[in-house]
Structure 1
Amino acid sequence: IVVHVDLQPIADELHGDYINDKSFKRHFQQWLNSLWQEKDRLLTSLMSSQRQNK
């Protein structure tokens, strides 16, 4: 089992009105999607290295 913990500071620009401010919502979603993409890259890298070690 591999556990990777990455603490992310929440910038002031990520505090806002997600429901009523479309610009803020779009920015927040882009930020969140970038976190998911980084998570996917990390998982791909971990799985690749585990396959090579077998």
Structure 2
Amino acid sequence: NEIAVFPGEELGICVLLNSHSRLASTVVPDLYQIIEQVYSQTPVQMASNYLPE
């Protein structure tokens, strides 16, 4: 289980896993990267579900 708080974005995330997984070691950094991409989008990009590579 992992908990991440992003105070600048007023966002908190809890990831619950039902077994031991390697995902637990990367899930918070991966989510942080996704959140940074979403918050950097313009309203038009966000409306079209655009995520840059």
Q: Please classify the TM superposition score into its range, dividing by the shorter chain length.
A: 0.3 to 0.5
Structure with the higher helix share, 1 or 2: 1
Higher RCO (Cα < 8 Å, 6 or more apart): 2
Q: Normalization by structure 1: what TM-score?
A: 0.39
